[in-house]
Amino acid sequence: MRGLYFEEFEIGAVYRHALTRTVTETDNVMYTSMTMNVQPLHLDEEFASKTVHGQRVVNSMFTLGLVAAFQVPELTLGTTLGNLGYEKVSFPRPVFHGDTLRCETTIKDKRASKTRTDAGIVWFEHRAYNQRDEIVCVAERVGMMMTRPLEPHSDSAPSQGDSTAIPLSPTKEPTMTEAADRSPSTYIHGAWHQGASTDRITTISPSSGKVLAVTATSSLEQVDSAVASSRAAFFSPEWRAYGPAERADVLRRMADLIQANNEELAQLIVDEVGSPIGLARAMQVGSPVETLRWYADMAVRGPRGGYEKALPLYDNPVLSSSVLRYEPVGVVAALVAFNYPINLLIWKLGGALASGCTTVVLPSPQGVLSTIKIFGLFDQLGLPPGVINLVVGGPDVGQRLTGHPDVDMVSFTGSDAVGAKVMAQAAIGGLAKSVLELGGKAANIILPGTELAPTIAPTVLRFARNAGQGCAAWTRILVHESQVDEFVALAREFIDGLAVGDPHSEKTEVGPVISVTHRDKVEGLIQKAVDDGGEIIIGGGRPDLAEGSYLNPTVIAGVSPDHPIANTELFAPVAILLPYKTVDEAIDIANQTVYGLNANVFGPLGDAIAVAERLRAGTVTVNGGSGMRPDAPWGGLGRSGVGRELGEDGFAEFFEVKHIQWPLGAIGRPPGT
């Protein structure tokens, strides 16, 4: 660090700005960190009286941006940003730090020069709102900030007579918690806010064990504000003006934003969730793009083929006509699991916006960074304030949101235990509609006589993909007793060749589970199965890696179909091998579960389809099926959830149906009177 300097100046005699510059040098590459602070000096006469055009100002929104940074000696008429000393840079939205509005950014110097005088062109906006949350005044200022570095290679302070460069005492780098206190995490009514709760979410990389970020969580009052904003937006003329075509355009622009940022989002998923990079690009980020574009088409077409449907004439007691109208359900609380944070978010957000609903999103604490990044992209869409809102936090935030009386629908993805609580909270709060996509313990039946070799790769990868953290994972493998030995030999050979390790590597096929705590829990359940007579017949244990929460793909045998490990969703790369004697027995075992989300059958097509028809599951693939298609419903039976996502059925969940009826003749007495 070579020194910290700032200069104070006024823009429009309204606010004092200070630019703090920190220069570091690593391997002859210079980095400049800039912090921009804003403190009120005095307000214009209208603002001082707290009225504008006769209306009382009750709220203000500040926006601050660094338009350009450059070397003053290089600034001449006709200079373009490409010729400047710095890359073009902009600050994120500011947050309050005490009574100071602060923005921060770090940029890499393009040139190796160690002496320069730097300047920045600053744009500042202050919006004033009345008690109806209407803008009553917008004040804009543009000005210049300047900083002056020390002499080259000198750590001495400037002379006392130098009034243009005031040295600051050296400061230490902010801690993660201090960074969280000034990093926005809550998005309400079209603006970013710092989480107002004292609780923090610490994001730890599952692959390295290092702390990635500390995030300030939303307060319960911010949850209330988010719901109020969403409800106001739902009834607002601005959002009501978005017809099917306009909503479709929003969804397509969302898809374009995600696609344009695929690599950055994929790398973030790798860091936060631990998904291997190939999976992150294809499923974690690629699939949401397809889903959004499908929902865009559905927004134009409407549910069940249209937003309005005429019924046949009815003549009891008089001839009458009726029409059914499908209208958006209202405010949707969308709670998203960590394992596919962007994918699952889009399943909910896509349907909500396509239908005309508004939303409040609560991500899993273990998927919060990805969700904040997505909202940062969607902030560029210019949606009416309140259409999409984001709160972050733990169970208290979830309980406040799902039990809020102004929430009309709760869409939740997660465990069946938490899902049951969510459904109860929604019922007690506002008797809100609940759509729950919960756990699974999918059976994978390999019919007698089926050639085993082609089934091995899909069988193993379907329970080990994403480290087994998927509700549709084929974690119960049913093999005819005459083929068990052959299956074990082939599966062992395949699993031994799987690359388990750093999810950043293009070669990795199995990454870590989400946390050390979860890994330890899974290991405890495996040990319990072994203690009860089970046997790890393939894989098991941990890979030889110094850091991270890794588990090797594991196959366990020797347990009964009703053993807890054969009926518990582990969310880990662990499968149970269950031999069977007859196809009827295999079907009975497959259906012997509290879940009913997914299943698969390998075998001759006709035979496999016949078995699929007898399985109690929301989705059954035959011979591996194909990809997750957005036009097919997803959901299950029993403790796998309530309702559906995706497909016509999933889209219909976001609507209420209204029956409008009128007589075709004169108004008469009501029936029965």
CA distance 34 to 68: 12
Q: Quick one: which of 147, 121, 157, 159 has its CA closest to 18? A: 147
pLDDT band at 5 (very low <50, low <70, confident <90, very high): very low
Superfamily grouping for domain 220-436: Aldehyde Dehydrogenase; Chain A, domain 1 (3.40.605.10)
In tens, the pLDDT along 390-409 reads 999 999 999 999 999 999 99
- Sign of the C-alpha dihedral computed for residues 521, 523, 525 and 527 taken in this order: negative
Confidence band for 299, pLDDT divided at 50, 70 and 90: very high
Residue 483 per-residue DSSP state: G
DSSP string, 196-208: -SS-EEEEE-TTT
Please state, in angstroms and rounded to a whole number, the distance separating the CA atoms of residues 593 and 639. 9
CA 533 from chain centre, in angstroms, equals 41
Reported as a pLDDT band with limits 50, 70 and 90, residue 305 is confident
CA distance 321 to 540: 66
199, pLDDT greater than 70: yes
Flag whether pLDDT at 58 surpasses 50: yes
Best CATH choice for the domain 4-173 from the list 2.60.40, 2.40.128, 1.10.1760, 3.40.50 = 2.60.40
Same fold, 4-173 and 443-639: no
User: Residue 364: in which H helix or E strand, if any?
Assistant: none
> pLDDT for 644-658, tens place per residue?
999 999 999 999 999
Strand duo 574-580 + 554-557: pairing: parallel
Q: For the ranges 20-24, 161-165, 458-462, 645-649, which has the lowest average pLDDT? A: 161-165
* 290 has pLDDT over 50: yes
| 83-92, 249-258, 458-467, 577-586: least confident range | 83-92
- With tokens 């759509």, the residue in question is 435
Angle, CA of 238, 240 and 245, to the nearest 5°? 105
- The percentage of residues in the chain with a pLDDT greater than 70, rounded to a whole number, is 73
Q: State the average pLDDT over residues 83-110.
A: 42
Domain extents for the chain? 4-173, 220-436, 443-639
Q: Mean pLDDT across the stretch 174-183? A: 55
Name the nearest CA neighbour of 389 among 348, 355, 360, 354. Answer: 360
Cα–Cα distance measured from residue 296 to residue 302, given in angstroms and rounded to the nearest whole number: 10
- Cβ contacts of residue 491 below 8 Å, gap of 6+? 456, 459, 460, 538, 555
Torsions phi, psi of 133, nearest 5?
65, 30
**What was the pLDDT predicted at 13?**
30
**Are the beta carbons of 459 and 477 closer than 8 angstroms?**
yes
Average pLDDT in the chain: 82
> Does the pLDDT value for residue 178 go beyond 60?
no
| pLDDT score at 668 | 86
Residues with catalytic roles: 437, 471
Average the pLDDT over each of 81-95, 133-147, 258-272 and give the range with the smallest value.
Answer: 81-95
Q: Could you write out the DSSP letters of every residue in 293-322?
A: HHHHHHHHH-GGG-SEEEPPPB-SSS-EEE
Is the pLDDT at 575 greater than 70? The verdict is yes
Q: Give the model confidence (pLDDT) of 359-378 as tens digits.
A: 999 999 999 999 999 999 99
The Cα 452–Cα 579 span in angstroms is: 14
State residue 6's pLDDT score. 27
Closest alpha carbon to 225 in 236, 233, 235: 233
Average pLDDT over residues 334-348: 98
Has residue 235 got a pLDDT over 80?
yes
Q: Please give the pLDDT value at position 128.
A: 57
Cross-strand bridge partners of residue 32 = 23, 107
The mean pLDDT value for 298-324 works out to 95
Rounded Cα distance, 268 and 203, in Å: 12
SS3 state of residue 438: coil
| 68-84 mean pLDDT | 34
Cβ atoms 184, 192 nearer than 8 A? yes
Cα 267 to Cα 123, 302, 363, 384, 657: the distances in Å are 32, 35, 18, 30, 42
- For the domain spanning 443-639, the CATH number is 3.40.309.10
Gap between the Cα atoms of 588 and 586, Å rounded: 5
Grouping H, G, I as helix, E, B as strand and the rest as coil, residue 489 is: helix
Contact by Cβ (8 Å): 36, 65: no
Q: What is the pLDDT of residue 152?
A: 34
* Identity of the highest mean pLDDT range in 35-49, 61-75, 454-468: 454-468
158 compared with 486, residue with greater pLDDT: 486
Over the stretch 503-545, which tens digit does the pLDDT of each residue have? 999 999 999 999 999 999 999 999 999 999 999 999 999 999 9
Q: Rounded to whole angstroms, how far apart are CA atoms 226 and 129?
A: 17
For residue 56, the cross-strand partners are 51
